[in-house]
Structure 1
Amino acid sequence: MGIDLSLIWAVIILFGIMMYVVMDGFDLGLGILYPFFRDKDERDVIMNTVAPVWDGNETWLVLGGAGLLAAFPLAYSVVLSALYLPLIFMLIGLIFRGVAFEFRFKALGHERHFWDKAFIGGSIAATFFQGVTLGAFIQGLPVANRTFAGGALDWISPFSFFTGGGLLVAFALLGSTWLIVKTEGALQARAYEITRWLVWLLLAVLVAISVWTPLLDARIAARWFSMPNMLWFAPVPLLVAACAWQLLRAVAARAQVRPFLYTLALVFLGYSGLGISIWPNIIPPDITLWQAAAPPQSQGFALVGALLIIPIILMYTIWAYYVFRGKVRPGEGYH
């Protein structure tokens, strides 16, 4: 029995996307939460918690896109054709927040307010359109003769806009729990309070999406409630409830790191539930990994490079977070 290169590449791409959601999720969440912190010194501290590492976090997004192109060119062409506009809007948001990181510390007076707004707007836009892209993808992309057969605005729907809003909540919760890890004093106390409300809001979002998703397509409902998928999916709601309960307990106990870890667990569980909804399709509703795969020679050649570069990315990511570990205080950090 030969090696299933398509399955290996699916794992690599899923890992890359999950790492992006985790690593870039909390720094996008900081931009979403920025309006709740008006004090200049607090805003400086918030930005300094991620200023040394934020750009490295986006490496995972590049890895996921490049892996999709190399291993599943049909999926790459269909997804970009179908979701070109929300992906462009996402990139514009990322550009604005990236520029804001660099310019805000050099700006004075009203100019700083402009870059604060760019950071907020860019973070919200990037997150919202990532969620819209996800929702439109789950709904399905029509394909005929190996090309996208829909319209330029098919991505606009109530479900995709709801997933966009849901991702704002998820990333905001990652951001608030990250602040608990990296700050102290009044700023940290405010982060605890925001976290408590966001947990309940995220639970409401997860329940709504869990009810809505199988109603989108009978095939998704069949995938959820058929064997053996049901055995894989059944523990997810229970684990979500357990993680949420432990997260609220950790916040009440004023724990430092546990809230962030439980939030990561909630995000992973939501991610796994969406994966179960579409597996083994890479272009919902009915094009599988193997139908969209590149020739084995191409997948194998690209896999050599991926297996070399991924450990390097992991090592420099771990090293960067180790170097910039610890609390961030007013007057310290990136300038």
Structure 2
Amino acid sequence: MDIDYSLIWALIIMFSIMMYVIMDGFDLGIGLLFPFVPDETDRDVMMNTVAPVWDGNETWLVMGGAGLFAAFPLAYSVVLSAIYLPAIFMVIALVFRGVAFEFRFKASPERRHFWDKAFIGGSLVATFSQGVLLGAFITGLPVEGRAYAGGPFDWLTPFSLFCGAALLVAFALLGCTWLIMRTEGDLQRRMHDLGKPLTWALLIITGIVSLWTALAHQDIADRWFTLPNLYWFMPVPILVLLCTVFLLRSIESYAHYSPFLLTLGLIFLGYSGLGISLWPNIIPPEVSIWEAAAPPQSQAFALVGALVIIPIILVYTAWSYYVFRGKVTAEHGYH
């Protein structure tokens, strides 16, 4: 029986990207929420909720990029050529944000405001750049002769900019519900107050992105709205509405854990909707995972390493989150 290595690698890369979105999403979201929390003690608590795990969260971004390079070199070369500038902005912002994260705790009170602004700016630019990358990817990348055929600024479109704004809202909500789960007292109440408008904003923006995508791409509209596909895919928007209703109720009832879990559900449903729209194309709108694949021997060789390293990453990630579980306070740290 022939093994479809391209399919296996596509699933690995999709899983890696999803893990990055979830785990670095709330991390970036905390930086986006900093302007709404002026108190320095509360900001210390916010950063302490992710201090032991924030750098490990970005492991999945490296895993996804390395997997794309190893298994789908054509996609790697075309996609990186198309979104080179926003990708550079994202990397610089992540580096600057990491420096700000470490230096903030060591800075004098007079200098701390500078690193606070650096942390906010790095989170803002990194998140917005990732949203722009997503928007450019959905729009499609022209390919001629197995090379990118567009210009250096083709990624700069109204749709990609709107996707950047949409991801800001999504990560802010993820960070907000993470803080609801990990903090208590006035800071937690402030996050409950922010959670409801952020949820409504995310629902509205998700609807706009979905309609915009369908109106701009007839093939995606046909996939979603023709029979019998409509019956198969209808559970996705229905589940989005149900998750939103339960999320709003959990925030209103001042729940601790369910808001974060329901937000994760919304992020996963949005990600699955994107997969349904684009599958099996790894370079939209026409290049499939099989057309962009490396030779099977290369994919098999790289898969051996991936099957060893991915369980290790999962184990140490789960262990770190388990060790640093519980509420974080200004007085006692973890308890």
Amino acid at match of 1:216: A
Q: Number of residues paired by the alignment?
A: 334
Partner of residue 14, structure 1:
14
1:331 CA drift (Å): 3.7
- Tell me the secondary structure at the aligned position of residue 130 of structure 1: helix
In the alignment, structure 1 residue 317 sits paired with structure 2 residue 304? no
- Tell me the secondary structure at the aligned position of residue 267 of structure 1: helix
| Aligned mates of 1:313, 1:228 — CA distance in 2 | 40
| Contact map agreement 1:90 1:130 (CA 8 A) in 2 | yes
- Tell me the secondary structure at the aligned position of residue 290 of structure 1: coil
1:255 CA drift (Å): 1.0
1:287 CA drift (Å): 0.3
Partner of residue 27, structure 2:
27
Superposition pairs of residues 193-272 of structure 1, within 5 angstroms? 193-272=193-272
Partner of residue 162, structure 1:
162
Partner of residue 299, structure 1:
299
TM-score calculated relative to the size of structure 1: 0.98
Partner of residue 174, structure 2:
174
Amino acid at match of 1:37: V
| Contact map agreement 1:132 1:163 (CA 8 A) in 2 | yes
| Aligned mates of 2:300, 2:227 — CA distance in 1 | 33
Amino acid at match of 1:274: L
Partner of residue 281, structure 1:
281
Partner of residue 48, structure 1:
48
| Aligned mates of 1:79, 1:54 — CA distance in 2 | 27
| Aligned mates of 2:177, 2:265 — CA distance in 1 | 12
Unaligned segments of structure 2, at least 5 residues: none
- 1:183-206 CA distances to partner (integer Å, 9 max, x unpaired)? 000000000010011000000001
| Aligned mates of 1:65, 1:286 — CA distance in 2 | 21
| Aligned mates of 1:232, 1:22 — CA distance in 2 | 26
1:217 CA drift (Å): 1.6
CA-based RMSD of the aligned residues comes to 1.1
Superposition pairs of residues 43-192 of structure 1, within 5 angstroms? 43-192=43-192
| Aligned mates of 2:228, 2:114 — CA distance in 1 | 53
Amino acid at match of 1:144: E
| Contact map agreement 1:220 1:277 (CA 8 A) in 2 | yes
- Tell me the secondary structure at the aligned position of residue 328 of structure 2: coil
- Tell me the secondary structure at the aligned position of residue 282 of structure 1: strand
- 1:171-230 CA distances to partner (integer Å, 9 max, x unpaired)? 000000000011000000000010011000000001101110011221221222235543
- 1:117-161 CA distances to partner (integer Å, 9 max, x unpaired)? 010000010000000000000000000000000000000001000
Q: Provide runs of 4+ in structure 1 moved above 3 Å.
A: 226-229, 331-334
Amino acid at match of 1:110: E
Amino acid at match of 1:205: I
| Aligned mates of 1:177, 1:283 — CA distance in 2 | 33
| Aligned mates of 1:89, 1:76 — CA distance in 2 | 18
| Contact map agreement 1:229 1:276 (CA 8 A) in 2 | no
| Aligned mates of 2:10, 2:232 — CA distance in 1 | 18
- 1:269-305 CA distances to partner (integer Å, 9 max, x unpaired)? 0011111111110000000000000000000000000
| Aligned mates of 1:229, 1:110 — CA distance in 2 | 59
| Aligned mates of 2:311, 2:255 — CA distance in 1 | 31
1:332 CA drift (Å): 4.2
- Tell me the secondary structure at the aligned position of residue 285 of structure 1: coil
| Aligned mates of 2:30, 2:226 — CA distance in 1 | 40
| Aligned mates of 1:230, 1:299 — CA distance in 2 | 35
Amino acid at match of 2:88: I
